[in-house]
Amino acid sequence: MTDQDLKNKYQPVADFMSQNGFQIQNFHVENNKAVLNATAPTEHLKNRAWDEIKKIDPNFSDLQHNISVGSGTTYVVKSGDNLSNISKSFYGNANELKKIAQANNITNPDKIQVGQQLKIPAA
């Protein structure tokens, strides 16, 4: 397998990470292994990234990786969003919305607005 083939193999994982607020420190091929180092915004998203890796190759013997959990991220509210669905996306549980509300001093969870930037705590 060429270096480009190996990178292409794990590109869907890098794409998933990019679309879900991960900070990718590096993604390249070295010594016949794909090297991927990234920081996830939450533990739930880190686990989902592992699911993506295992879909591609359950053994992932050709992947050198380090995926850690950071201190959180920011999220820009889109049309149709509410704290419950944002919470489900980041934490896997809609009932964790109180974490987001507290981190952003939101007293009424129904009062978020399109374009508003929300801090999403890691835990």
Domain ranges across the chain: 3-69, 72-121
Distance from C-alpha of 96 to C-alpha of 92, rounded to nearest angstrom: 9
Closest C-alpha to 63, from 23, 26, 31, 35: 35
Query: pLDDT tens across 84-109, in order?
Result: 999 999 999 999 999 999 999 999 98
Do strands 63-69 and 33-40 pair parallel, antiparallel, or not at all (unpaired)? parallel
Average pLDDT over residues 10-21: 95
**CA of residue 51 relative to chain centroid, distance:** 12
> What architecture is the 3-69 domain classified under in CATH?
2-Layer Sandwich (3.30)
The pLDDT of residue 54 is: 96
Query: pLDDT tens across 30-61, in order?
Result: 999 999 999 999 999 999 999 999 999 999 99
40 backbone dihedrals φ, ψ, rounded to 5°: -90, 150
Cα R_g (the chain), whole angstroms: 17
Superfamily designation of domain 72-121: LysM domain (3.10.350.10)
User: 3-19 and 43-56 helices cross at what angle (nearest 10)?
Assistant: 150
